[in-house]
C-alpha cells in the first residue's frame, strides 16, 4: 500500500511535465507562416513614450512603443509593448512590414481605433500592436 501511494504521488507530481515543453531543448520554436500576414504596413516613425496603464507589464512597466504607420492608405498610430521578440528592448526601423489583423472590434462602423495587429519583423519575431490614433 505504501508503494502504491508513493507511486501515485510521483505520478501526480510529474504529470504536468507531459504538457509543459512543446519543443526540444535547443530547438527553435516554430517560425510564423509569412503567407498569413497579408496586410501591408509602412512604418514611418517610432517613439517610446511614458505611458502607464492599470495593468502594468512585468518587463516594461510604464513605457510603450508607438509607431506612425500607413495601412490601406490611412495614416494611423499603433502602440504595443517595448519588448519585442526574445526580451529585446527595441525600436522599429522605418520601412515596409507585413502584418495581419487579429482583432477588429469595429466591423460595423468602419472605425479603426482598437484594431489589433501582429506585425511580422525581419527576424521572424512578432510585435503585437493596437491602433491608438488616426492622422489626416
List, for residues 39-78, the tens digit of each pLDDT value: 999 999 998 887 676 555 454 467 788 999 999 889 999 9
Tell me the three state secondary structure of residue 10. Answer: helix
Strand partners, 89: 83
Total number of domains constituting the chain: 1
Is 12 part of a structural domain of the chain? no
End-to-end CA distance of the chain: 76
Where in the sequence is the domain holding 76, given as residue range(s)?
34-135
Highest-confidence range of 25-39, 68-82, 84-98, 103-117, by mean pLDDT? 68-82
pTM above 0.85, yes or no: no
Whether 7 has a pLDDT exceeding 70, the answer reads yes
Least confident of 24-33, 79-88, 92-101: 24-33
Q: Residue 134 contacts by C-beta under 8 Å, 6 or more apart in sequence?
A: 74, 75, 76, 77, 112, 113
Burial state string for 60-85 with b = 16 or more CB within 10 A and e = fewer than 16: beebbbbbbbebeeeebbbbbebbbe
Is 47 part of a structural domain of the chain? yes
Amino acid at each position: 500500500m505504501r508503494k502504491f501511494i508513493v507511486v501515485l504521488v510521483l505520478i501526480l507530481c510529474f504529470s504536468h511535465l507531459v504538457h509543459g515543453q512543446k519543443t526540444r531543448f535547443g530547438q527553435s520554436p516554430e517560425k510564423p507562416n509569412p503567407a498569413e500576414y497579408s496586410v501591408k504596413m509602412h512604418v514611418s516613425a517610432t517613439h517610446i513614450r511614458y505611458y502607464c496603464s492599470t495593468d502594468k507589464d512585468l518587463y516594461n512597466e510604464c513605457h510603450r512603443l508607438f509607431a506612425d504607420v500607413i495601412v490601406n492608405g490611412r495614416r494611423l498610430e499603433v502602440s504595443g509593448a517595448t519588448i519585442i521578440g526574445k526580451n529585446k528592448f527595441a525600436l522599429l526601423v522605418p520601412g515596409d512590414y507585413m502584418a495581419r489583423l487579429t482583432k477588429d472590434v469595429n466591423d460595423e462602423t468602419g472605425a479603426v481605433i482598437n484594431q489589433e495587429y501582429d506585425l511580422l519583423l525581419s527576424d521572424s519575431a512578432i510585435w503585437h500592436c493596437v491602433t491608438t490614433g488616426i492622422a489626416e
